[in-house]
Amino acid sequence: MFRFRADSVYEEMKQRYGTQGCYLLKINSRGSNRGADEQIPDPWSQYLQKNSIQTQESYDDGPYTVISNRNADHLISADLDNDIQVDGLSNNFKAHPLQLDHLSDTSSSFDGTDYIKTTSSLHESKKTSSGTPHGACLTLTDHDRIRQFIQEFTFRGLLPHIEKTIRQLNDQLISRKGLSRSLFSATKKWFSGSKVPEKSINELKNTSGLLYPPEAPELQIRKMADLCFLVQHYELAYSCYHTAKKDFLNDQAMLYAAGALEMAAVSAFLQPGAPRPYPAHYMDTAIQTYRDICKNMVLAERCVLLSAEILKSQSKYSDAAALLIRLTSEQLTWMGMDSDLRSALLLEQAAHCFINMKSPMVRKFAFHMILAGHRYSKAGQKKHALRCYSQAMQVYKGKGWSLAEDHINFTIGRQSFTLRQLDNAVSAFRHILINDSKQPAAQQGTFLREYLYVYKNVTQLSPDGPLPQLPLPYINNSATRVFFGHDRRPSEGEKQAATHISLDQEYDCESSHQWKELEEQVVAVVNKGIIPSNFQPTQYCLNSYSDNSKFPLAVVEEPVTVEVAFRNPLKVPLLLTDLSLLWKFQPKDFSAKHNGETKELACGNDMIGAEVIAEFLINSEETKMARLKLFPHQTGELHILGVVYNLGTIQGTMMLDGIDPSIGLQAGKFVYNGMSVRGRQELEIQGPRLNNTKEEKTSIKYGPDRRLDPIITEEMPLLEVFFINFPTGLLCGEIRKAYVEFVNVSKCPLTALKVVSKHPEFFTFGGNTAVLTPLSPSASENCSAYKTVVTDSTSVCTALMSSASSVNFGVGTGSQPEVIHVPLPDSVLLPGASVQLPMWLHGPDEEGVHEINFLFYYESIKKHSKMCHRVLRHTAVICTSRSLNVRATVCRSNALEDEGKGDNMLVFVDVENINTSEAGVKEFHIVQVSSNSKHWKLQKAVNLSEDKDYKLASRERGKLCFKAVRCKNSGENYTFADIVFGNEQIISSASPCADFFFRSLSSELKRTHTQSNMFHGAAKQPFDEAVRLIQKCSEVDLNIVVLWKAYVVEDNKQLILEGQHHVVLHTVGKEAFSFPQKQGFKKILGNSDWEDLEQESPEMVLLKFFRPENTSLPTRPTSEQLSNLIKTSLHYPESFNHSFHQKSLCLVPVTLLLSNCSEADVDVIIDLRHKTTSPEALEIHGSFTWLGQTQYKRQLKSQEVYSLQLKACFVRTGVYNLGTHRVFAKLADQVTLFETSQQNSMPALIIINNI
């Protein structure tokens, strides 16, 4: 029915309008309910564009459903309220994408609220809009009919009509305007005589209101140009537009003229083959006309956008950008024609022109994006403003333009907060604070307050969530230090606490290595010379320089102190409140083990106690350390994760209690402004870079750093040590008595207390037996630290004997003299108990400042699996000044007795006072000289003056001579011989004299023991044993101890100082010293001259080159050593009277004593044929002859003394030297190798008198 009616209407239209002007289009042939499963293509899909706005992220408004307008002012801080007002934030995208819903009618809203789509509803709307099909009722035949209709309409109707209209307009224009224009132009040329110049745009009147009638020739030309432009006849269109432009300008119809200029420029651009260049000046004139004369900014904006696109298509991006920027000039703002939204769009397009240039101008792009974002913000387009600033931030980020970055981040933070993108806002404000800002203090304070406000809103949304990461203050993770244990009690009066180790001390790598060696040494002694495989050096303080590869050990109920280095990068102070550590703890029982695994315990809230710092102020640009403590109450594994605190600000712009905030604020003198957020910062310490294997060297790998992961072990004893009357200055060699107090401050008894030091000769706790250690003397100024007895006056010149073993003083074979046992009562120190023990100190022999390290080692009675022992450190600083310089030499004596008692020697001791009276010492008194040795002893003093008191004033020198004889076999004991110069004998075999002697001798014993081992290891040649026997003839094991007293006046009181010096004599004839010698000039200069040279030029050092020492013994002994095998002595009368008148020959009996100084049998040859041939000697001494046998051969047993009777023959009176004999010796079991002449004795002078 409907089809029949449509056909009838179509026939009627054809009769009226003709067949060419009508067409019947049959569509919608398919029913909507038919063939639901049939797939028909959408004819409009390729022509519809997707809405870009609908595809952007919807998280901006996701979780927020309704926002109240009346509360919108409270969503931002007071600073934000002055600049920005929150709009409705409507996301209704049904209208145009750029259209804003201003919601001016508040009555239409529900209770003053604006509905904002949730994420789910927004996605549903997108789904429905994008999934709606088009042309559902069209069949494929309908598609073909539509295409045929369009083609028939175009070719049969539209194009012929346009062609006909253009022809008619052209004819009309020729007929109507041809004559009048020719007459007008001819008249104008006749009367004017020349062409009238065109007026500029600025000179033309404002005739934008001029209107033409529809039949005006000018509009007909414009209509013809438009039709030519419509059918893409651009060349003819350009001619018509150009003609119309002239007519409009002649009539000063500026609005029409601007339109003609605009279209002429477009026509010229669209002409194929580009016969003429694009007339950009046409567009500029049109824009200026629209803007300045017509005051129509919409048309000017259209013209600008069109011209910009044309210029961009020709790659003239610079011109396009300049054109776009020109329409946003400040002049338009003054004229009231500026629009923020339009300017924002144009600035954004100009920015894209800069980035698309052949050489992209990135900074100009970013700058104009910022300008566009600013104008978007003023226009209320918050999302577009945020987008522009975010794109600009990609350019400025990391370029060092901190001020620009701060501005952009601040704006991004504000815009994100306004759009409720709180995470983005926090991130933007965070970047402002963590970068090294160059902003003034006031601006930084503003940034910080904004950040705190935004962060507070974020935390309020999820109060039960994890604590956020705070950016301020900075934490230098590598500078984090961890200290295990209590803070030491300070010194009290004369009590000086052990220095130990604390966080206030600077780390010293060399010192740390020394402490480690001392601990290894004492652990090896305790474990019988073996260091356990699980040994871990004790580290009380861990830092970036310590070895943190292993889990540190802490003791339960002892605090763990973590020092965190905070740095405030801002110029405003920061206030941290409720500052504490963030930790994780896993309790474990290390004492109970099941199948080799540690038993884990249930975790309770009271396992770890944490110290909280109520207020911690960090001034502007200050680095400050915070020491936070944890108190473990249970064994297990502790992991320190970070710090947690409230970050806030203070009012720093006003005077607080009279303090200028620029100087720095002190705790308790600041005003809190109430703005703070709770957060945390993690402590993540990167370990040292690994560089051991090839793989580690070629890659970047870091080892673990476990300083923040201590293991809490079982309870251990804790020792504190106090030194009483401990001196800070001593004379070299001075003996001073002090006391040491040991206190056990833990709940566990301690035992096995030992002390180890690299300088065991500096101190002693006395001998192992009570007999050897003198009782503590009464408090008196003149009391002696030695054990003394009163002597008889008859025993002044002779030695008083005693003996002692080195084992009693901790110096035995196989023992470590550096490790000293502390004689505790019952070897145990109970909890809370304290004990005082005497300690004798011996001033070092070398002057200067000495640092002496004590390491106290102790254990618990109960053995633990994790921690076996504990240590306590102490560093004593002693300043020593000069006292005495002792030098000694031993020589063989010429006196030999026939009794065969053995050898004897002379010991020469040279004592010099080198004190400079700096310590107030007037004079030194030599009170006793003692010897100690296993083989030798002092017998008596030789040529002792009647004055028993040996006093040495400054720079005075005294010489002493003693006779030494061999001791009887005393086994391993040392024989002590004391020669007293007063009425009081110091028992040298008791403490502390013997202690310090054995301590100083220990190094010599170790060296001798090492050489002995080397000798046995190198014994390859058959005569090495013989070499050793010959060398021993020149060796002497004799030690001299010089004991002295010095009188010092201090505070008008006279004090007596005591001391002792040790001289170790090794070789006959070689000088030994009591203090270390400096090589070089001392060989050339005398001792006093050398000391003067030291004072004048202490920095002078003689450059010496040393040949590396040969570890093996020499294969041949020296001639000096060979000459000491046999010792000879002549016994004869000093003068002999003879009557040469009665008998011409004078015979004198002479006894020659030969002593074998070696421990082997020696073959001796005595040759009496040697005569003095020197004329000088003959002038002094006369010549004589030995009678009888001139050569003797004898074999002397070890230490044998042999007597040979000789006769000397003289022919006249005179003085004769009987020492003309020569003695040759060699070992009995050797060949003539090593045979050498023995040293002659001193001249043996005899006087022959005639009677």
Least confident of 51-55, 421-425, 584-588, 761-765: 51-55
Tokens of 1066: 């090794």
The pLDDT of residue 663 is 44
The pLDDT of residue 653 is 42
At residue 604, does pLDDT exceed 70? no
Strand partners, 937: 965
What are the tens digits of pLDDT across the range 34-47?
A: 555 567 777 777 77
Tell me: cis bond preceding 490? Omega within 30 of 0 counts.
no
At residue 579, does pLDDT exceed 90? yes
Q: What b-and-e string marks burial along 1187-1197, b requiring 16 or more CB atoms within 10 Å of the CB?
A: eeeeebeeebe
Query: Which uninterrupted H or E stretch holds 850?
Result: strand 848-860
pLDDT band for 623, please (50, 70, 90 cuts): very high
What are the tens digits of pLDDT across the range 201-233?
A: 444 444 556 788 888 888 899 999 999 999 999
Q: What angle (nearest 5°) sits at the alpha carbon of residue 9, between those of residues 6 and 13?
A: 135
**């030992």: which residue's tokens?**
754
- State the virtual CA torsion across 242, 247, 252, 255 in degrees, nearest 10: -50
Query: Which positions ≥6 away from 671 have C-beta within 8 Å?
Result: 650, 651, 654, 656
Q: How far apart are CA 622 and CA 628, in angstroms?
A: 19
At residue 775, does pLDDT exceed 70? no
- Estimate the crossing angle of helix 280-288 against helix 254-270, to 10 degrees: 160
pLDDT band for 475, please (50, 70, 90 cuts): very high
pLDDT band for 877, please (50, 70, 90 cuts): very high
CA distances from residue 568 to 368, 458, 642 in whole angstroms, order as listed: 34, 24, 18
User: Are the C-beta atoms of 388 and 400 separated by less than 8 Å?
Assistant: no
Mean pLDDT score, 962-973? 78
What are the tens digits of pLDDT across the range 1009-1062?
A: 555 555 444 444 445 676 777 777 778 888 999 999 988 877 777 788 899 998
What are the tens digits of pLDDT across the range 433-458?
A: 777 778 888 888 888 888 888 888 87
The pLDDT of residue 599 is 56
Tokens of 22: 């009508």
At residue 911, does pLDDT exceed 60? yes
The pLDDT of residue 583 is 92
Least confident of 337-351, 391-405, 1001-1015, 1075-1089: 1075-1089
The pLDDT of residue 902 is 54
Least confident of 466-480, 523-537, 569-583, 661-675: 661-675
Q: What angle (nearest 5°) sits at the alpha carbon of residue 119, between those of residues 115 and 120?
A: 100
**SS3 per-residue string spanning 84-107:** CCCCCCCCCCCCCCCCCCCCCCHH
At residue 1222, does pLDDT exceed 70? yes
The pLDDT of residue 815 is 58
Q: How far apart are CA 498 and CA 408, in angstroms?
A: 58
User: Are the C-beta atoms of 531 and 523 separated by less than 8 Å?
Assistant: yes
The pLDDT of residue 1173 is 56
At residue 54, does pLDDT exceed 60? no
DSSP 8-class letter at 871: E
Q: How far apart are CA 619 and CA 660, in angstroms?
A: 12
- Percent of the chain whose pLDDT exceeds 90: 25
Query: Which uninterrupted H or E stretch holds 852?
Result: strand 848-860
User: Are the C-beta atoms of 1070 and 1124 separated by less than 8 Å?
Assistant: no
The pLDDT of residue 70 is 34
**């199948």: which residue's tokens?**
595
Q: How far apart are CA 248 and CA 257, in angstroms?
A: 5
Output the average pLDDT for the chain. Answer: 77
The pLDDT of residue 745 is 92
Mean pLDDT score, 905-920? 83
pLDDT band for 85, please (50, 70, 90 cuts): very low
The pLDDT of residue 970 is 59
pLDDT band for 76, please (50, 70, 90 cuts): very low
At residue 770, does pLDDT exceed 70? no
C-alpha 911: how far from chain center: 53
- State the virtual CA torsion across 670, 674, 680, 686 in degrees, nearest 10: -30
| Selection from 32-41, 336-345, 565-574, 791-800 with the highest mean pLDDT | 565-574
Burial, 994: exposed, middle or buried (Cβ in 10 Å; 0-12, 13-18, 19+)?
buried
What's phi and psi for 506, nearest 5 deg? -80, 145
The pLDDT of residue 205 is 46
Residue 974 or 71, more confident: 974
pLDDT band for 632, please (50, 70, 90 cuts): very high
Least confident of 806-815, 841-850, 961-970: 806-815
Strand partners, 659: 656
Q: How far apart are CA 487 and CA 497, in angstroms?
A: 12
Q: How far apart are CA 608 and CA 958, in angstroms?
A: 70
User: Are the C-beta atoms of 969 and 799 separated by less than 8 Å?
Assistant: no
What's phi and psi for 951, nearest 5 deg? -110, 140
The pLDDT of residue 1240 is 60
Mean pLDDT score, 468-480? 89
Q: What angle (nearest 5°) sits at the alpha carbon of residue 233, between those of residues 230 and 235?
A: 130
User: Are the C-beta atoms of 686 and 677 separated by less than 8 Å?
Assistant: no
Mean pLDDT score, 1062-1081? 76
User: Are the C-beta atoms of 1219 and 1109 separated by less than 8 Å?
Assistant: no
The pLDDT of residue 208 is 52
At residue 655, does pLDDT exceed 80? no
Mean pLDDT score, 709-738? 91
Q: Is 658 left (phi over 0), alpha (psi -120 to 50) or beta?
A: left
Least confident of 530-539, 552-561, 576-585, 1240-1249: 1240-1249
Nearest to 570 by CA among 467, 650, 515: 650
At residue 732, does pLDDT exceed 50? yes
Least confident of 54-63, 268-277, 688-697: 54-63
User: What are the percentages of helix, strand and coil residues in the chain, rounded to 5?
Assistant: 30, 30, 40
Q: How far apart are CA 1040 and CA 1064, in angstroms?
A: 6
CA distances from residue 929 to 375, 595, 795, 805, 977 in whole angstroms, order as listed: 103, 67, 13, 20, 8
At residue 257, does pLDDT exceed 80? yes
Residue 515 or 1003, more confident: 515
DSSP 8-class letter at 611: -
At residue 78, does pLDDT exceed 50? no
CA distances from residue 161 to 21, 227, 557, 678 in whole angstroms, order as listed: 11, 10, 105, 79
Tokens of 537: 């050096």
Mean pLDDT score, 65-79? 34
Mean pLDDT score, 896-915? 74
At residue 282, does pLDDT exceed 70? yes
**């941290």: which residue's tokens?**
576
What are the tens digits of pLDDT across the range 287-297?
A: 999 988 888 88
Mean pLDDT score, 327-351? 77
The pLDDT of residue 137 is 85
Helices then strands, counting H and E runs in the chain, come out as 25, 50
Would you say the C-alpha torsion 1085, 1091, 1096, 1098 has a positive or negative sign? positive
Tokens of 562: 């973590």
- Percent of the chain whose pLDDT exceeds 70: 73
What are the tens digits of pLDDT across the range 112-154?
A: 333 333 344 444 444 444 556 777 888 888 888 899 999 988 8
The pLDDT of residue 909 is 92
pLDDT band for 330, please (50, 70, 90 cuts): low
Tokens of 819: 């490790």
